Amino acid sequence: AGYRTGAFVAAYPLDSEFGLDRGFDVYDDRLPKGSRPTEFVMAERRGDEVVTAALAWWNRSKEKPRFLWVHLFDPHAPYVPPEPFARRYGKDPYQGEVAATDSFLAPLLGPHLDGKERPATIVVTSDHGEALGEHGELTHGLFAYEPTLRVPLVVWGAGGSRGGRIQ
């Protein structure tokens, strides 16, 4: 359809070895070595690095319509937010990682929200929630309870934003 397509991913579960790069002009999955999925250790890069690469591609690709997929992985265990979020959320490092991730997205989303970029449709969602100790599960992946099943879905575009609950 004439679109330039770019994907910028932050963690091993979306590595191109799984075929997810199909159909993208650019699939940036430059990750450090060291994933051990059977031990739940995933190679990842911080969200600000992913957003920097995605934003550079976005700004270089203005001559055609664009589709950009940005995947961030920061709010995953172990919860170790960067400063100043580690200090600010010392008693709740998970929330520190969520706040850091919000800040990482600001350079990418800010120009759209401020009207400095041409109109776009932006979709923000998550793959799962975190149990954070509920039902005896510290993170996610074992049980299908509300804390891990409920995820955000925000669709924003030139006509405003829509958010809500999907029951």
Cross-strand partners of 28: 8
Q: Which of 131, 125, 130, 115 is nearest to 70 (CA)?
A: 125
Residues 6+ apart with CB under 8 A from 159: none
**DSSP H stretches of helix in the chain:** 47-60, 85-88, 93-113, 146-149
User: What does pTM read for this prediction?
Assistant: 0.82
**Tens-digit pLDDT profile for the chain (167 aa)?**
889 999 999 998 888 989 999 999 999 999 877 655 555 567 789 999 999 999 999 999 888 899 999 999 888 878 899 999 999 999 999 899 999 999 999 999 999 888 888 888 888 887 766 766 666 666 666 666 666 667 778 888 865 555 554 44
